[in-house]
Amino acid sequence: MRGQQLLPTLTAEEIAEIEEEINHLPDRKSAAIDALMIVQKHRGWVSDESLGAISRLLAMSVEELDGVATFYNLVFRQPVGRHVVMVCDSVSCYVMGADDLAKEVQSQLGVRFGETTPDKRFTLLPIVCLGACDKAPAMMIDEDLIENVSSDRLQSIFGAYA
């Protein structure tokens, strides 16, 4: 009931999408992951402020919600660039030369894994097996799966993401 501070809020659209998930679940809390992903879809990541707003919407504590958020690798609790590049580092891709690819990607983007390019264009992250093992090595940029990646294709691949 300490109602005076200005609390950060979610947009009507975000709330509508989250409520839609809640409608199909037995309780509000169960929508925690969906809600985090929905907000992330709109804002790129889940800030402390967003986290607070989501926790209020779901009637759960921030601690509990952040416990959930920090468990899942696809929930970003730190800001990311406009595009998220995820390079598979699992075994099939490894066999097909993912280590060399990873080095090449880092040098082309000029950042290491976990970092964002200074122009905020790309955030580079490792990812586990993308289910594209027969077309290894693979990577994913945003929602696009890119298969049979080779170093010489990288430049044109990245070029498609402004």
Partner 1 sequence: MSLQERLPLSGRVEEIGNRPVFMTDYLGGAGYEAARIAVTGMDPNEVIAKVKEANLRGRGGAGFPTGVKWGFVPDVEGVKYLVCNGDEMEPGTFKDRYLIEYNPHLLVEGMIIAAFAIQAQKAYVFLRGEYHVPRRRLARAIEEASAKGFLGERIFGSDFSLDLRIHSSGGRYICGEETALLNALEGKRGQPRTRPPFPPASGAWGRPTIVNNVETLCNVPSIIRLGVDWYRNLGLTSDSGTKIYGVSGKVNNPGLWELPMGTPIRELVEEHAGGMRNGHKLRGILPGGASTDFLVEEHFDLSMDYETIQAAGSRMGTGTMILMDDSICPVDLSRNLQHFFAQESCGFCTPCREGLPWVEGVLADIEEGRGQEGDLDVLALNAEYIGDPGNTFCLHATGAIEPLQSALKYFREDFESHIRTGKCSYRTEAS
Partner 2 sequence: MAKFFIDGVEYEAKAGENLLQAALSQHLDLPYFCWHPSLGSVGACRQCAVVEYRDENDKKGRLSMACLTGVREGLRVSIANSRAADFRKTVIEWLMQNHPHDCPVCEEGGECHLQDMTVMTGHSVRRYRQAKRTWQNQDLGPFIGHEMNRCITCYRCVRFYADYAGGTDLGAFGSRGRMYFGRVSEGTLENEFSGNLVEVCPTGVFTDKPFAKQYTRKWDLQSSPSVCTGCSVGCNTFAAERYGQLRRVHNRYHADLNGYFICDRGRFGMHFVNSDKRIRMGGVGVGDGTFEARGTERVLETASALVRSDQALIGIGSPRASVESNVALKWLVGSENFCPGLADADAAATHELIASIASDACCIPTIAEIERADAVLVLGEDIADTAPRAALALRQAVRGVSFAMAQEAGIPHWQDAGVRGHAQDHRHPLFIACAGTSRLEDVAEATEAMHPEDAATFALDLAEVIAGKREAFEPGTFAARVSAVLADSKAPLVVSGTSQGNASLVRAARDLAVSLKIAGKQSMLLVAAREANSVGACMVGGSLSMSEALARMADGCSVVVLENDLYRRADAGRVNAALRASSVIVMDVLETPTADGASVALPAASFAESTGTYVNYECRAQRFYQTFQPEGEILPSWAWISRLASERGSDPGWDSIEQLTRQCAEQGFAGIEQAGPGSDYRFAGISRIARQTHRYSGRTAMYADETVHEPKSRIDSETAFAYSMEGANSGRQASATIPYVWSPGWNSNQSLFKFQQEISGPWMQGDPGVRLDPSWYLRHEAHPSDAESLAAEGEFRSVPIFPLFGSEEQSARSWPIVRRMPAPFAVLHPQDAARLGLVEGGGVAVLAVGRSCEVRLDAGMPPGVVGIAAGLPGKDVQPHCRTDLSPDPEFVRKMDGEPGVIARG
**Residues engaged in binding partner 2 (CB under 8 A):** 1-4, 26-27, 48, 51, 61-64, 66-67, 70-71
Which residue type sits at 120?
Answer: K
- Environment class of 119 (CB within 10 Å of its CB; exposed 0-12, middle 13-18, buried 19+): exposed
Q: Which residue carries 């993401």 as its tokens?
A: 161
54 within 8 A of 79, measured Cβ to Cβ: no
Nearest approach in angstroms of CB 50 to partner 2 is: 13
Rule CB under 8 A: say whether 95 interacts with partner 1: yes
Q: Which of 10, 14, 17, 32 binds partner 1 (CB under 8 A)?
A: 32
CB neighbourhood size of 80 (10 A):
17
Site residues, partner 1 (CB under 8 A): 24-27, 29-34, 36-37, 67-68, 71-75, 86, 89-92, 94-96, 100, 127-136, 140, 143-145
